[in-house]
Amino acid sequence: MPIYQPEIECASRDYLHAVQSARLIKMVKNAYEHVPFYKKLLDDAGIQPGDIHSIDDIVKLPFTVKTDLRDNYPYGLFAVPPRDLVRIHASSGTTGKQTVVGYTAHDVDVWAEGAARALSAAGCTKDDFVHVSYGYGLFTGGLGLHYGAEKLGATAIPVSSGNTKRQVQILQDFGSDFLCCTPSYAMFIGETVRDMGIDPTTLKLRGGLFGAEPWTDNMRREIERLLAIKAYDIYGLSEIAGPGVAYDCECQDGLHVCEDHFFPEVIDPDTLQPLPDGEYGELVFTCIGKEALPLIRYRTRDICALRHEVCSCGRTVVRMTKPRGRSDDMLIIRGVNVFPSQVEHVLLELGMDPNYLIIVDRKNNLDTMEVQVEMNPSLFSDTVKDIENAEKRIEGALQSTLNIHARVRLLEPNTLPRSEGKAKRVIDNRVLQA
Ligand code: DLL
């Protein structure tokens, strides 16, 4: 597979260290001199820009969190005047104010470079048509992949999300080679292809870049089967840039981080100490290559581990494991930590489709968990006994993975709402009662 920027993606660790060190020194100085928030943050921590001599000194710097962006809403953390900005995006989140991010022309270029690296790692070339079904707008998904495709010299098809039958029509008629959308929407598009009676092997499509929400390897295989393609993971977050912060290569063995622009660390969320390779913790990014929003040690809340060994594809840049979920997605049910991705893994292992909803409640001061999941045609039955037996079997499998009891309710096919963007997998009624 061609590598978009081998001089960076396959660079020696020494070279990367030098690039990162120079960029961190410049970025900290810029942040300190142009953003009052950072001047105070560093002064309070007893650190001056002159104390930063190389990327190794990053551990001296204090952390930032999402509420710092919210407290300085909308533009308080920008390090450049409005005349230097060329773009604004925002992420709504589920609670509180939006998080507003800004980009200079250089920042848009850095971001597009990341997305182009991701597309190239999935095998996309200048000759290909890239069907973008991420939403266009303040969400970074649509425009992120769009600019990445154009940067690579491929042809972007800006379909945006929604109207799924039309999506399939366009895949057929326009001869799209790559599809970009959330994994849950890719599933829905795949189901629609099937329901329209189309053989997916007759489509020209050969790959897809799916991200913006956690998804398991089992779901990857399901999408690959439904659409007859190879499915690649793409990671990003608007605070750091958007899609293309990290991406799968053909080995599908961890996501390569654009660490020349976005320096990653994994920390223990309790002690805040950096963790060694292979240990799971909270992912932290420092934007060393951006001008408008120079985030320092930003705590993403995403849970993953880092690996520095060279990948079989030849890339030397650090890899992050597929994010397991966010620490704030983690449910604590009767004291046990449960990630929705664990439930998804179990359901797919049992041959179910990943159309499910977790409902958490509190009855008589005791947490309850119900997993609603659609029957697929192989399980479909009119006999109450058959359905009950299947529910019991799934309950047993969930119990042995999660270590807690979850009631399972099988639903008829196509009863749960489908998502065109990020899927909603959890309803936690305990929050409402609080
Ligand atoms: O979701 C950017 C994006 C768009 C990434 C399209 C990939 C593709 P936000 O809306 O700011 O930005 O949400 C960022 O989504 O902190 C993760 O929790 C989650 N996330 C993003 N990509 C992945 C992924 C976009 N590949 C938040 N796997 C992040 C798991 C992901 N979670």
Nearest atom in ligand 1 to the alpha carbon of residue 211 is 26
Average pLDDT, the chain: 94
Residue carrying the six token digits 């104010």: 97
Do 32 and 150 share a domain, yes or no?
A: yes
Distance from the alpha carbon of residue 234 to the mean position of ligand 1, in angstroms: 8
Which residue type does 376 have? N
- 158 phi-psi bin (left φ>0, alpha ψ -120 to 50, beta other): beta
Q: Name the residue at shortest CA distance from atom 12 of ligand 1.
A: 237
Do 201 and 133 share a domain, yes or no?
A: yes
Do 315 and 341 share a domain, yes or no?
A: no
Whether the CB of 298 sits within 6 Å of ligand 1? no
Whether the CB of 212 sits within 6 Å of ligand 1? yes
State which of 327, 343, 368 marks the end of a domain. Answer: 327
Owning domain of residue 285? 1-327
Do 204 and 349 share a domain, yes or no?
A: no
Which has the closest alpha carbon to 412: 388, 390, 380, 371? 380
Distance of CA 388 to the CA centre of its chain: 36
Q: How far apart are CA 93 and CA 273, in angstroms?
A: 27
pTM of the predicted model, to two decimals?
A: 0.91
Whether the CB of 213 sits within 6 Å of ligand 1? yes
Do 303 and 343 share a domain, yes or no?
A: no
Contact yes or no for 156/254 (Cβ under 8 A) = no
Query: Is the predicted pLDDT of residue 319 greater than 70, yes or no?
Result: yes
- Return the number of other C-beta atoms located less than 10 Å from residue 371's C-beta: 23
Q: Name the residue at shortest CA distance from atom 28 of ligand 1.
A: 214
Distance from the alpha carbon of residue 284 to the mean position of ligand 1, in angstroms: 14
CATH number of the domain enclosing 323: 3.40.50.12780
Model confidence pLDDT, tens digit, residues 43-78: 999 999 999 999 999 999 999 999 999 999 999 999
Whether the CB of 325 sits within 6 Å of ligand 1? no
Query: Is the predicted pLDDT of residue 434 greater than 50, yes or no?
Result: no
Distance from the alpha carbon of residue 51 to the mean position of ligand 1, in angstroms: 33
Task: Give the pLDDT of residue 78.
Answer: 98
Whether the CB of 407 sits within 6 Å of ligand 1? no
Nearest atom in ligand 1 to the alpha carbon of residue 233 is 26
Query: Is the predicted pLDDT of residue 36 greater than 50, yes or no?
Result: yes
Q: Name the residue at shortest CA distance from atom 14 of ligand 1.
A: 237
Model confidence pLDDT, tens digit, residues 338-358: 989 999 999 999 989 889 999
Task: Give the pLDDT of residue 95.
Answer: 54
Task: Give the pLDDT of residue 141.
Answer: 96
Among 210, 302, 344, say which to mutate for ligand 1: greatest number of ligand atoms within 8 Å of CB: 302
Cis peptide leading into residue 74 (ω within 30°): yes
Do 243 and 262 share a domain, yes or no?
A: yes
Structure tokens belonging to residue 301: 């809340």
Among 66, 213, 237, say which to mutate for ligand 1: greatest number of ligand atoms within 8 Å of CB: 237
**Beta bridge mates, 155:** 129
Q: How far apart are CA 134 and CA 244, in angstroms?
A: 13
* Structural domain total, the chain: 2
Query: Is the predicted pLDDT of residue 98 greater than 90, yes or no?
Result: no
**Beta bridge mates, 374:** 411
Model confidence pLDDT, tens digit, residues 355-375: 999 999 988 788 999 999 999
Is residue 96 very low, low, confident or very high in pLDDT (cuts 50, 70, 90)?
low
State which of 268, 293, 327 marks the end of a domain. Answer: 327
State which of 304, 327, 350 marks the end of a domain. Answer: 327
Structure tokens belonging to residue 54: 């190389």
Model confidence pLDDT, tens digit, residues 192-235: 999 999 999 999 999 999 999 989 999 999 999 999 999 999 99
